[in-house]
Amino acid sequence: MGAALWTALRDLLTAVELELGRWTALAEGVPAEVVHGFLARSEHDRRPEAPPDGPAVDGIADQTAHRALWGELTGDEGGFYRRCAERVSDLDWSEVAGICGTEVAVRAAVVRERYAAWATPGIPERLRVGRFEVVTTRGGGCRVVTHSSLDAIDLPSQLIALLPLFAGQATEQALRQLERYGARIDPSFLQELVDWGVLVEAP
């Protein structure tokens, strides 16, 4: 759940940075066509780039291309960035949201929802097995990954074998079935399984 929250927050701030960059550039008089190409939203939006020429390979700036990109701002690049910083430095969130539009509003809503889920954890009334992968087994235990191959949780092999008992019925009923097989899960560990996505809310 923490990873989902941070991913949503990263995506929100990336979108804000992009939109405020476009807004400030336009406000500073950068042609719209230049803003669109320089701050393209994705690789799909970008125009194919020409193969690097000799100066580019040697790490030398192409002054002609630089002047074509910066236009009247050539020679005042540092001032341009300072003025852009001044435009955004005193904005509050409501102003940022008004400038950035629908995409940022949606991403902000996702952040709020994921934060609420993280800050007020709870065990759903019905659970089913989520998507995970067993990466190693050793000494009666399994190491599994859910959201990232870089982040794993160790679980008893016996528990892995019994997880299919969570099949969308009431959670309390599934826990009673587990106990018949000699497995008991306390609420804190069950919450951990939910937080990791080993078990997820069933429809």
- Tokens 């560990």 correspond to 189
Specify the pairing of strand 141-145 against strand 152-156: antiparallel
Helix (H) or strand (E) holding 26: helix 2-27
**12 and 112 belong to one structural domain:** yes
Q: Tokens for 63, please give them.
A: 């002054």
Tokens of 86: 């001044």
Whether residues 112 and 35 share a domain: the answer is yes
Q: Are residues 39 and 78 in the same domain?
A: yes
One pLDDT digit (tens) per residue for the chain, 203 residues: 888 899 999 999 999 999 999 999 999 988 888 888 766 544 445 555 667 777 778 888 788 878 887 888 889 999 999 999 999 999 999 999 999 999 999 999 999 999 998 888 889 999 999 999 999 998 889 999 998 888 899 999 999 999 999 999 999 999 999 999 988 999 999 999 999 999 999 99
Q: Which of 84, 119, 154 is the last residue of a domain?
A: 119
Mark whether 9 and 109 lie in a shared domain. yes
CATH code for the domain of 150: 3.90.930
pLDDT digits (tens, 9 = 90+) for 35-48: 887 665 444 455 55
Could you tell me which residues come within 8 angstroms of residue 136 by beta carbon, excluding any fewer than 6 positions away? 142, 143
Q: What is the pLDDT of residue 38?
A: 66
Residue-wise pLDDT for 130-160, tens only, equals: 999 999 998 889 999 998 888 899 999 999 9
> 25 with 106, same domain?
yes
Does residue 107 share a domain with residue 57? yes
Buried b (16+ CB within 10 A) or exposed e, 165-187: bbeeeebeebbeebeeeebebee
Do 181 and 83 share a structural domain? no
Which of 92, 119, 146 marks a domain boundary? 119
- For residue 58, give its domain range: 2-119
H helices of 30-169, in order, are: 32-38, 54-57, 63-70, 77-89, 93-100, 102-119, 157-162
- Give pLDDT, residue 162: 94
**Per-residue b/e over 78-116, b at no fewer than 16 CB within 10 Å?**
eebeeebeeebeeeeeeebbebbeeebeebbebbeebee
128 touches 202 (CB < 8 A) = yes
Among 90, 119, 148, identify where a domain stops. 119
The predicted structure's pLDDT at residue 150:
87
Q: ∠158-160-166 over CA atoms, to 5°?
A: 115
- Same domain, yes or no, for 72 and 51? yes
